[in-house]
Amino acid sequence: MEAANNTNGNGYGNNYECDIIRWFEYISENAGEVQRETLRRILEQNYDVEYLKKRLGDTKIQDMDACEMETLYTSLVPLASHTDLEPYIQRIADGDTASLLTQEPITKLSLSSGTTEGRQKYVPFTKHSSQTTLQIFRLAAAYRSRVYPIREGGRILEFIYSSKQFKTKGGLTAGTATTHYYASEEFKIKQEKTKSFTCSPEEVISSGEYKQSTYCHLLLGLFFSDQVEFITSTFAYSIVQAFTAFEECWQDICIDIREGSLSSSRITLPKMRKAVLDTISPKPYLASKIEVVCKKLESLDWFGLVPKLWPNAKYVYSIMTGSMQHYLKKLRHYAGDLPLVSADYGSTESWIGVNVDPSFPPEDVTFAVIPTFSYFEFIPIHRRKQDCNSAIDDFIEDEPVPLSQVKLGQEYEIVLTSFTGLYRYRLGDVVEVAGFHKGTPKLNFVCRRKLILTVNIDKNTEKDLQLVVDRGSQLLNKTGAELVDFTSHADIVNQPGHYIIYWEIKGDVEEGVLNQCCREMDVSFVDPGYVVSRRTNSIGPLELCIVKRGAFRMILDYFVGNGAALSQFKTPRCTSNQVLVRILNDWTIKRFHSTAYC
């Protein structure tokens, strides 16, 4: 479908759109060959760094043909975890300027969110990181524009946030990957080319105070409401969080739009105040119009908020897989009939795949691997079928295979070798090959390997937990209440060990219903190890803890206070982080224990 006025979903002309799609079609068709050349480029640039020299010795790997080089590299360089690379990264952080992981000097370090393992990790960030981010944004926009063309001169309401950067002992700049990108030349290029499409100025994005930034994003988004073409954020959580905040602050926003002012109680940062006040002017008619709409929306529990307030918006765009799946129901509530488009697949370490089918619902989205971004390997994963007499329930691994040898329907753990100094790095993501785009696999995200609930011989993934919570919350929904958020913890201190699931609920629910929810979740785990262990009482009854409203906001504040950006935040679905467990237990107001298997 041709974009209106010869622009696509990111403001680039149709010629550019065709060129970048044509490029991706070519590298996808020749994905195996492109992958070997990607590995060659990485090794030619970095073969003499300390990490590789220790493993390759004096082997002239850069002089070999692509196939020989690939075989020798994977035979001599072992699979690695972050723990293996951490000493090198720490030396870089402390100021060691030797070529440890890359020949190119590393001047920035990204911080992972810390939601998976309970602590943030340093990951090298280079110019390549920003370049691939800009490239995948352009590629994804080109595919979206085929389905959802936007107008020239339209704007994007982006709920994007930087966090504060700091200097390491060695003087390197450290911060989240999104913060580095928003400060990069590549982001400035994007902003210049799409200048008329962005609602919020840089001072709002980079304030480091997410509550104030959210208010300004909403204010500016409504000030330009008739121009907004789509609404986006890195994760679905950020959009839900923004609209939840809007339910409480819309009257103040209307006052500011009417007067061309900015609430002094809500916005205290001078630079942000000046940037916003320089952008807006009094619009009393618009403020009155928004007030009328919001009063109607309040009576509808804010259903269809997006199309009512942004009548020209074509879709809502964000990462909606994995731990974000829980927020789809609330996001659909706000979006009404507007399409939800799932954004692309990546991590702090590397971008991985692009959504080439933006018309698919988020539950069916797959990601076509981009074979020039990193060199990818895939460890085949088999889940052992357990019977009642089995004593083991674990993932079984085969040897890693290159991208060109993956099989349809097989699950794999992703391994990557990157331009930023990660070599045969186990990402920890489990994916399923759901199809192929030309010659490159289309991946369906399954789970994070470390996000596992386990007490004994049981093993339940993030996806398993989501299905169980969905079953339990169906009973909740019949009462008119809403499950705001959830997480879980495997209590192995008290014996027998058992699962604890924490719920934050909006609305009043009778204790009898919550008891039923608890029992329903307990019997909904289908993992044979869990079922057998419950029947033999080697795992105790499931515990459902109801926390006070605002508990999960406390968790968000904890992560943001430790350096994570709101746009990077993901509620951990399974946690062993004792600080989070303490917050949850302190905020627990009711506890229920399952009577199943009695």
User: pLDDT tens-digit profile of 558-571?
Assistant: 877 776 667 667 78
Range with the lowest mean pLDDT among 155-164, 337-346, 381-390, 392-401? 381-390
The C-alpha atoms of residue 516 and residue 500 are separated, in whole angstroms, by 15
The DSSP code for 266 is T
Judge whether residue 388 has pLDDT over 50: no
The C-alpha atoms of residue 367 and residue 40 are separated, in whole angstroms, by 24
Do 523 and 543 meet the contact criterion of CB atoms below 8 Å apart? no
Do 371 and 38 meet the contact criterion of CB atoms below 8 Å apart? yes
The C-alpha atoms of residue 39 and residue 66 are separated, in whole angstroms, by 8
* DSSP letter for each residue of 39-69: HHHHHHHHTTSHHHHHHHTT--GGGS-HHHH
Judge whether residue 283 has pLDDT over 60: yes
The C-alpha atoms of residue 569 and residue 261 are separated, in whole angstroms, by 31
Range with the lowest mean pLDDT among 50-54, 184-188, 393-397? 393-397
For the record, the structure tokens of 182 come out as: 């928003």
Specify the pLDDT at position 387. 39
Judge whether residue 575 has pLDDT over 70: yes
The C-alpha atoms of residue 107 and residue 297 are separated, in whole angstroms, by 49
Judge whether residue 443 has pLDDT over 70: yes
Tell me: the pLDDT tens digits for 285-296? 999 999 999 999
The band of 190, judged by pLDDT with boundaries at 50, 70 and 90, is low
Tell me: the pLDDT tens digits for 16-40? 678 899 999 999 999 999 999 999 9
Taking the CB of residue 388, how many other CB atoms lie within 10 A of it?
Answer: 9
158 CB-near residues (< 8 Å, 6+ apart): 198, 199, 200, 205, 217, 231, 232, 233
Judge whether residue 577 has pLDDT over 90: no
Taking the CB of residue 418, how many other CB atoms lie within 10 A of it?
Answer: 25
The band of 357, judged by pLDDT with boundaries at 50, 70 and 90, is very high
Residue 244 half-sphere exposure, CB side, CA atoms within 13 Å?
A: 16
Considering the chain, what is the average pLDDT of its residues?
87
Backbone angles phi, psi at 213, to 5 degrees: -60, -40
3-state SS class at 597: coil
Between 375 and 154, the higher pLDDT residue = 375
Do 174 and 165 meet the contact criterion of CB atoms below 8 Å apart? yes
Give buried/exposed letters for 18-48 (b at 16+ CB in 10 A, else e). Answer: eebbeebeebbebbbebbbbbbbebbeebbe
Specify the pLDDT at position 390. 35
151 CB-near residues (< 8 Å, 6+ apart): 4, 5, 7, 229, 312
Region 515-524: mean pLDDT is 93
Region 242-270: mean pLDDT is 95
Q: Looking up tokens 């979006």, which residue turns up?
A: 335
* Pairing status of strand 108-111 against strand 173-176: parallel
Judge whether residue 312 has pLDDT over 60: yes
Specify the pLDDT at position 565. 67
Cis peptide before 528 (omega within 30 of 0): no
Range from 11-15, 197-201, 372-376, 485-489 that averages highest in pLDDT:
372-376
Give buried/exposed letters for 191-204 (b at 16+ CB in 10 A, else e). Answer: eeebeebbbbbbbb
Specify the pLDDT at position 192. 63
Region 406-410: mean pLDDT is 95
The C-alpha atoms of residue 23 and residue 175 are separated, in whole angstroms, by 32
Share of the chain above pLDDT 90, in %: 53
For the record, the structure tokens of 115 come out as: 């939601």
Taking the CB of residue 303, how many other CB atoms lie within 10 A of it?
Answer: 13
The DSSP code for 420 is T
Between 361 and 150, the higher pLDDT residue = 361
The C-alpha atoms of residue 412 and residue 339 are separated, in whole angstroms, by 30
Q: How large is the greatest C-alpha to C-alpha distance in the chain, in angstroms?
A: 74
Q: Looking up tokens 């691939």, which residue turns up?
A: 132
For the record, the structure tokens of 242 come out as: 């923004």
Tell me: the pLDDT tens digits for 98-145? 999 999 888 888 877 555 555 678 888 888 888 888 889 889 989 999
Region 277-288: mean pLDDT is 96
The C-alpha atoms of residue 57 and residue 498 are separated, in whole angstroms, by 49
Which has the closest alpha carbon to 334: 310, 303, 360, 379?
A: 303
Range with the lowest mean pLDDT among 254-268, 438-452, 512-526? 438-452
